[in-house]
């Protein structure tokens, strides 16, 4: 690796770029009530939000794995007409404003939504429920998993699958015993990213699932609500989210913190 | 370019012959509780008719969010709160003084048009078949709603505590909730999509709206004029048109 002196202008702009990300974090940490940190985090409202957030984000990750790995396999292995369009549609929530996603979910699965009316008729209600919050989190987070797993499938050595087939393994056995173990690192990476995104979900959740402590009030919602009345709690919860996110990036440094 | 400037100057000279300085637009940034959204938009239009050099910039949100923004240095010229305690936060921070009460508002139960669940009063909100949405207890509308429910001796279980009163109204008008407690003015603003069920006087909570010039306002005199206008007969007439009561 060769190192060179950057032009002064580039160095100055890069410095501003770094400051732009570091300063808000410094601001947050400077305001954090470190002496009473544990006290703030063990208030009932904080504990409830922490617990609920872990349940919702983990459930969303499980759902994304269940549906996302098969979807990624189809995208990587089965060329069909309109594949790019379908892939674009299922990737959309990644860049769509989450509030728009929440409104769309409401118009589809809300009580008066396109499909929600049928659900309501059989007694299933999604808005304002924990399952609704899980769906909102899955909606925004699953695309990250699908893209990561598809990339893994495309870059794996397919000769192992061919070998298994020539030895008489059926399609399901090949997938389960050969493909899945080979792409395990991608599946793991995708799941972790998906989980982190689900943990931070705000807009789609508050729009589709509402905000009720213990049912749909996840960490980011609790931060937003507490900011006005209990800023110390809000700041400490933010620090927790920050720490978790940072831990994920560091744990996955092979993928995201090193240059390509 | 110079020609355009000359015409512009000429026009200004015609409009305000007494003024000789170049026309300058003064921005006035108003932070106001979300229940004031429609009324202030209209009041702002009306005020600019008489003061053509003024341009309004509105920031509507829950009064508690706005108070947090102002105490953290947001550049507001005027703060209108839906309750006294959030104004007090700004006063305590030394960022405003001598607020004036310019309007008051009452609560109403918002239900979807036609009142399909036949809600007659606060007591019905405790029914298990009612999907009830309230504003979060941290925002004025949510706090008032809890006060009204307490006065009525009703223990209600909302399925959601929305971030502001407009979000409550939206959940009802979308049909996701069977009922929500909002301001009379909110029901009136969404009359096409929701209906209001009155709350009797003995259970009613009156919300008083204080307004003040924020310290560091770009043009405190102009900000003061807007507040004078709101408390004047013309301003009061506009507010009454949106369902607000006199202070």
Quote the mean pLDDT of chain B.
Answer: 89
Choose between B237 and A3: higher pLDDT: B237
> In this structure, is residue A206 part of a structural domain?
yes
* Partners of residue B139 in chain A, C-beta under 8 Å: 228
> In this structure, is residue A30 part of a structural domain?
no
**pLDDT for A247 beyond 70:** yes
> In this structure, is residue A71 part of a structural domain?
yes
**pLDDT for B4 beyond 70:** no
How confident is the model over B214-221, as a mean pLDDT?
92
| Spacing of C-alpha B186 from chain mean position | 10
Q: Do B158 and A216 touch (CB under 8 A)?
A: no
Alpha helix segments (H runs only) across B93-219: 140-151, 165-173, 184-189
Q: Smallest CA–CA separation between A111 and chain B, in Å?
A: 6
Return the residue of A nearest to B112 by Cα.
A112
User: Residue A109, exposed/middle/buried by CB under 10 A (0-12, 13-18, 19+)?
Assistant: buried
Phi/psi-derived region of residue A82, left when phi > 0, alpha when psi is between -120 and 50, beta in every other case: left
| CATH code assigned at A155 | 1.10.3720.10
User: Residue B157, exposed/middle/buried by CB under 10 A (0-12, 13-18, 19+)?
Assistant: exposed
> In this structure, is residue A98 part of a structural domain?
yes
For B10-48, the pLDDT digits (tens) are 444 444 444 445 567 889 999 999 889 999 999 999 999
Q: Smallest CA–CA separation between B120 and chain A, in Å?
A: 22
Q: Do A228 and B158 touch (CB under 8 A)?
A: no
Which pLDDT score, from 0 to 100, does residue B22 have? 57
Residue ranges of B 105-124 with Cβ closer than 8 A to chain A: none
Q: Do B65 and A213 touch (CB under 8 A)?
A: no
Name the interface residues of A facing B (CB cutoff 8 Å): 106, 110-112, 127-128, 206, 209-213, 215-217, 224-229, 231
- Closest partner residue to B160 (CB to CB) among A211, A226, A227 is A211
- Closest partner residue to A224 (CB to CB) among B67, B159, B163 is B163
Q: Smallest CA–CA separation between B148 and chain A, in Å?
A: 20
Which pLDDT score, from 0 to 100, does residue B52 have? 81
Number of domains composing chain A: 1
Return the residue of A nearest to B174 by Cα.
A112
Under the banding of pLDDT at 50, 70 and 90, the label for residue B2 is low
> In this structure, is residue A183 part of a structural domain?
yes
Which pLDDT score, from 0 to 100, does residue B19 have? 47
For A59-117, the pLDDT digits (tens) are 999 999 999 999 999 999 999 999 999 999 999 999 999 999 999 999 999 988 999 98
Choose between B196 and A4: higher pLDDT: B196
**pLDDT for A204 beyond 50:** yes
Quote the mean pLDDT of chain A.
Answer: 91
> In this structure, is residue A230 part of a structural domain?
yes
How far is A42 from A49, CA to CA, in rounded Å?
11
| Domain, as residue range, for A114 | 38-256
* Partners of residue B131 in chain A, C-beta under 8 Å: 111, 128
**pLDDT for A201 beyond 70:** yes
How far is B141 from B165, CA to CA, in rounded Å?
6
How confident is the model over A126-144, as a mean pLDDT?
96
For A155-175, the pLDDT digits (tens) are 999 999 999 999 999 999 999
**pLDDT for B237 beyond 60:** yes
Pick among B69, B159, B170 to test the A interface (most A CBs inside 10 A): B159
Q: Smallest CA–CA separation between A125 and chain B, in Å?
A: 10
> In this structure, is residue A5 part of a structural domain?
no
How confident is the model over B64-84, as a mean pLDDT?
93
Are B38 and B242 spatial neighbours (Cβ–Cβ below 8 Å)? yes
Cα distances from A183 to residues A77, A160, B32, B105, in angstroms, run 14, 12, 54, 61
How confident is the model over B209-234, as a mean pLDDT?
94
Q: Do A127 and B62 touch (CB under 8 A)?
A: no
How far is A46 from A230, CA to CA, in rounded Å?
11
Which pLDDT score, from 0 to 100, does residue A257 have? 52
> In this structure, is residue A33 part of a structural domain?
no
Choose between A154 and A248: higher pLDDT: A154
* Partners of residue A111 in chain B, C-beta under 8 Å: 131, 175-176
For B112-168, the pLDDT digits (tens) are 999 999 999 999 999 999 999 999 998 889 999 999 999 999 999 999 999 988 899
Pick among B161, B162, B165, B193 to test the A interface (most A CBs inside 10 A): B161
**pLDDT for A4 beyond 90:** no
Neighbours of B224 (CB within 10 A): 15
Number of CB pairs < 8 Å for A and B? 56
Which pLDDT score, from 0 to 100, does residue B17 have? 45
Q: Which domains does chain B have, with CATH numbers?
A: 2-104+209-241 (3.40.190.10), 107-203 (3.40.190.10)
Return the residue of A nearest to B67 by Cα.
A228
Residue B180 φ/ψ, nearest 5 degrees: -150, 150
Pick among B33, B130, B140, B174 to test the A interface (most A CBs inside 10 A): B174
- Closest partner residue to A225 (CB to CB) among B67, B136, B159 is B136
Which pLDDT score, from 0 to 100, does residue B116 have? 94
Q: Smallest CA–CA separation between A154 and chain B, in Å?
A: 43
Which pLDDT score, from 0 to 100, does residue B197 have? 96
Q: What percent of chain B has pLDDT over 70?
A: 91
């Amino acid at each position: 690796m060769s190192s060179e002196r950057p032009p002064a202008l580039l160095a100055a702009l890069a410095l501003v770029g770094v400051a732009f990300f570091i300063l808000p974090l410094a601001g947050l940490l400077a305001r954090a009530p470190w002496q009473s940190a544990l006290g703030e985090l063990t208030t009932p409202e904080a504990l409830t939000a922490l617990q609920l957030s872990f349940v919702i984000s983990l459930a969303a990750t499980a759902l994304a794995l269940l549906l996302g790995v098969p979807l990624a396999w189809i995208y990587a292995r089965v060329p069909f007409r309109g594949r790019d369009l379908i892939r674009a549609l299922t990737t959309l929530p990644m860049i769509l404003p989450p509030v728009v996603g929440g409104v769309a979910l409401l118009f589809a699965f809300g009580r008066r939504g396109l499909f929600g009316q049928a659900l309501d008729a059989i007694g299933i209600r999604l808005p304002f429920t924990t399952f609704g919050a899980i769906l909102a989190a899955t909606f925004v987070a699953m695309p990250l998993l699908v893209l990561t797993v598809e990339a893994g499938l495309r870059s794996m050595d397919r000769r192992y699958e061919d070998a298994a087939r020539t030895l008489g393994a059926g399609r399901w056995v090949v997938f389960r015993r050969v493909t899945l173990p080979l792409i395990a690192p991608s599946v793991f990476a995708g799941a972790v990213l998906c989980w982190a995104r689900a943990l931070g979900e705000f807009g789609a959740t508050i729009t589709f699932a509402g905000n009720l402590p213990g049912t749909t009030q996840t960490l980011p919602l609790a931060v937003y609500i507490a900011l006005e009345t209990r800023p110390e709690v809000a700041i400490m919860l933010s620090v927790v989210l920050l720490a978790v996110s940072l831990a994920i990036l560091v744990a996955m440094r092979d993928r995201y913190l090193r240059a390509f | 370019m110079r020609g355009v400037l000359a015409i512009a100057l000429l026009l200004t000279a015609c409009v305000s012959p007494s003024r000789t300085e170049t026309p300058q637009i003064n921005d006035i940034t108003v932070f106001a509780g979300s229940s004031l959204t429609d009324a202030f938009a209209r009041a702002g239009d009306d005020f600019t008719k008489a003061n053509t050099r003024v341009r309004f910039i509105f920031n509507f949100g829950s009064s508690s969010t706005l108070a947090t923004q102002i105490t953290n240095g947001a550049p507001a010229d005027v703060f209108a709160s839906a309750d006294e305690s959030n104004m007090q936060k700004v006063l305590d921070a030394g960022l405003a003084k001598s607020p004036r009460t310019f309007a008051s508002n009452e609560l109403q139960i918002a239900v979807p048009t036609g009142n399909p669940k036949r809600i007659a009063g606060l007591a019905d909100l405790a029914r298990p078949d009612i999907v009830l949405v309230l504003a979060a207890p941290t925002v004025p509308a949510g706090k008032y709603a809890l006060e009204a429910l307490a006065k009525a001796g009703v223990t209600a279980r909302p399925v959601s505590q929305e971030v502001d009163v407009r979000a409550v109204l939206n959940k009802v008008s979308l049909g996701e909730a069977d009922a929500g407690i909002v301001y009379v003015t909110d029901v009136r603003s969404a009359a096409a999509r929701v209906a209001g069920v009155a709350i009797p006087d003995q259970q009613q909570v009156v919300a008083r709206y204080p307004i003040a010039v924020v310290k560091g306002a770009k043009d405190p005199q102009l900000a003061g004029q807007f507040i004078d206008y709101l408390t004047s007969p013309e301003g009061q007439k506009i507010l009454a048109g949106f369902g607000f009561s006199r202070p």
